[in-house]
Amino acid sequence: MANQQLFLGIDCGTQGTKALILDAASGQVLGLGAAGHDMISGPNGCREQDTRQWLDAFTQATHQALAAAGVDGQAILGVGVSGQQHGLVLLDDQGQVLRPAKLWCDTETTPENDRLLAHLGGEDGSLERLGVVIAPGYTVSKLLWTREQHPQLFERIASILLPHDFLNYWLTGRHCSEYGDASGTGYFNVRARQWDVALLQHIDPSGRLQTALPELIDAHQPVGRILPAIAAHLGINRNAVVASGGGDNMMGAIGTGNIQPGVITMSLGSSGTVYAYAAEPAVSPQASVATFCSSSGGWLPLICTMNLTNATGAIRELLELDINAFNALVAQAPIGAEGVCMLPFLNGERVPALPHATGSLLGLTTTNLTRANLCRAVVEGTTFGLRYGLDLLRANGLEAQSIRLIGGGSKSPVWRQIVADIMDTTVICTEQSEAAALGAAIQAAWCHSGAQDSLAELCERCVKLDPASETRPIAEHVAAAQHAYELYRQHVATL
C-alpha cells in the first residue's frame, strides 16, 4: 500500500488497554487490539493497579492491533499514549516502580485531600490558586497519603509520574508530562501552566517531591524516539516517535474532533465525563467544573461523574441480564420509570459533589417495583448526573449544537435517546468509539509532522461521525425527562 502513514494509538484505561492502528493519510482505522487489567480493591475505597499489567496489556493489545490491521510494525511512524488521569506511579532512582499505582477512583485519600483543601483555603482558595478544586481522586492527596502511610518508601521516591507519563517513560526512558494530564494532579496551575512547587513543599519540606517532577512539554512536542529494545519487544519501528500523549479525556477530545469551540463530548464509560474546548482559561466559579488544559494547546473545561456503566453493570449483574435484555427492559419502562428514582452513587460522587454518598433507590411502591423500572432508573439516574454537569458548563458560557457521544454506553440506541431527551440536544456518535486511542494516534501524527500538519486538518480527515447514530430529542420526551430530572434534583437535595 503506497503512501500510508501509520500510527499506533494506545489507551490505558481502568479496565484494560486498547490499541489502534491509524493510517493518517487516508484517515482510516486499520486494526484494533485490547487486553484487560485487574483492580486491587481494599477497604476505605482503596483502588490500585499493578503497573506491570499495563505493560503486558500494552504489548498484547499492540500485537493484536498489528495483526488485525495486517500491517508490518516496521511501518509505524509514531506512538501516542492516552492514560487514565490522576493515577500516581512512583519510581525509585533505578527507575523501578515502588508500589502499585493509586488510581483516579481511589477514595482512600479523602482525609488527606480534606486537609490539603483546608490548607489551600477551601474550594475558593483552591480555585484561585490552581484554577481547579482538588478532589479526592486527584494525585496530590495520594502523595501526602504515601508520606504518612509509607514513610520508608516515600524516602525512596525519585520520580512522580501519571499513568500515561509512566508508559512514555517505559517507551523512551524520559520523564515528561504534558499540560492536559498534569492539570489533574492538583499541584499544577492551569492558568500559568506550571507546577505549584510550594504545595509540594508543604507536603514535604525537604524538596524531594519537586526534584521528582517530570519535565513539562507542549502538546505538539514529542517525548522522543522509542527505545530499541522496547521497539523490538512491541514489534514496531525503532525510529518511531513517541508523542506527548495525554489524559484519556484530553485524547478523547482530539479523537472526537473537539479542538475548537462549539463541540461537546460526552463519554459514557465506567465514569461519565462531559467536556468542551475553550481557547481561554475561563475558570468556572463552580467547584465541580475542572478547567483542565487540553492536549491541543487550549483548555478543556470538564465535569466527571464517578458512576456510570459501573452502576448499570451492577443492576445487570443483580438481575442476571445480558446487555440486550437490559436495553430491552430499559426501553419497556416509561420515562421517569413510574416514579422509581435511583441515585447511583455507588462510588461516592464528584458531580454532584457528594464524596461520602452511597447509592439509593427511591419512590418504590408495590406496583412500580419492576425489573424494567429498575433498569430504566439506573440509566436515567446516571444520565441525570451528566445533565447536572452539562448545566454547570452551560452556565459558564459553553454552547453546542450537538453532543458527540463516546464510551460503551453510547453503543445503546435506547441510551442515546435518553441522553438526547434529558439534555434536549441532538447526539451523534463518532464512527470510532475508541476515541481516546484514536486521539492518541492523531496526536502522534501531529507530533511526527513537526506540527506542519495542523491538528484541525488531521481531525477533519480522521474523525468521522456516524450518521446512523444521530438521535434527536423528541419534544414530549423532553418535557417528561425534565419532570423526572426535577424529581432527581429534589432527592439529591435531601443528601
Q: Which of 106, 165, 248, 421 is catalytic?
A: 248
For 336-367, give one letter per residue: b (16+ CB within 10 A) or e: bbbbbbbbbbbbbbbbbeebebebebbbeeee
Edge-first strand listing for the sheet containing 46-49: 40-42, 46-49, 101-102
CB 27 within 8 A of CB 69: no
Number of residues in the chain: 495
SS (H, E, C) the chain: CCCCCEEEEEEECCCEEEEEEEECCCCEEEEEEEEECCCEEEHHHEEEECHHHHHHHHHHHHHHHHHHHCCCHHHEEEEEEEECCCCEEEECCCCCECCCEECCCCCCCHHHHHHHHHHHCHHHHHHHHHCCCCCCCCHHHHHHHHHHHCHHHHCCCCEEECHHHHHHHHHHCCCEEEHHHHCCCCCEECCCCEECHHHHHHHCCCCHHHHCCCEEECCCCCCEECCHHHHHHHCCCCCCEECCCEEHHHHHHHHCCCCCCCEEEEEECCCEEEEECECCCCCCCCCCCEEEECCCCCEEEEEEECCCHHHHHHHHHHHCCCHHHHHHHHHHCCCCHHHCEEECCECEECCCCECCCCCEEECCCCCCCCHHHHHHHHHHHHHHHHHHHHHHHHHCCCCCCEEEEECHHHHCHHHHHHHHHHHCCEEEEECCCCHHHHHHHHHHHHHHCCCCCCHHHHHHHHCCECHHHCECCCHHHHHHHHHHHHHHHHHHHCC
Has 248 been annotated as catalytic? Answer: yes
Residue 11, beta-bridge partner list: 18, 82
Name the grid cell of 131.
484554577
Q: Which of 133, 113, 136 is nearest to 123 (CA)?
A: 133
- Give residues with Cβ within 8 angstroms of 261, minimum separation 6: 276, 277, 278, 279, 398
Active site residues: 248
